[in-house]
Amino acid sequence: MIVEEIMNDNPYTLAPSNTVLEALKLMREKKVRHLPVVDKEHHVLGVITERDIKEALPSPLQDEPNSPIFHAHVEEIMVKNPLIAHPLDFVEEVALTFYESKVGCLPIVSGGKLVGIVTTTDLLYTYIELTGATEPGSKIDIRVSDTPGILFEITKIFHQHHANVQSVLVYPDSENTQNKILSIRVKTLNPLAMIEDGTDLKK
């Protein structure tokens, strides 16, 4: 999956001359926490976040309209030269950037201009969609030996029971490095017969 499939391709933006109060009002009105700051040609100059505004306040108890920071331009507190991504980047690569850099959003740039934005919320929603958690079904975690062909043997059981596999995740077994955990979501509410067949397979 690539970034352009999950990004918001019509993000709200600010000009560097907009005030911090205007940024806050836009965030609250549109229910967003990150706003790219762009010039007239839509080049990304920075990013301002709800957290940036909170950190710029002299006190969290400061009355908002009376705080001088709200009359400052966003360019004074925005994150300049932010990390960016391209629409054709892979989602897992972008997720790694989020994890390593501890950022909450990435402006998506193509041809030097802003074409979208991706946030941690977008990544979380994508993960939920990929796992099939939004659809009715059952999740089965199976501990298997890390050997070639084991996934094929497991999926044969679902095929024999005419069960649709919604997603398959593979992750290391924390108890034994020679094993893997297969986390499989199937479109059935009663997987007991399949679990029993899987137990027989392990024997």
Question: Could you read off the pLDDT of 145-170 as tens digits, one per residue?
Answer: 888 888 888 888 888 888 888 888 88
Residue 128, pLDDT score: 85
Classify 100 as helix, strand or coil.
Answer: helix
Is the model's pTM score more than 0.75? yes
| pLDDT per residue as tens digits for the range 32-43 | 999 999 999 999
| Residues 44 and 67: beta-carbon distance below 8 Å | no
CA gap 201, 203 in Å, rounded? 5
Which residues of the chain fall short of a pLDDT of 70? 59-66, 198-203
CA proximity to 34, closest of 68, 90, 84: 84
- b/e code 92-122 from CB counts within 10 Å (16+ = b): eebbebbeeeebebbbbbeeeebbbbbbbeb
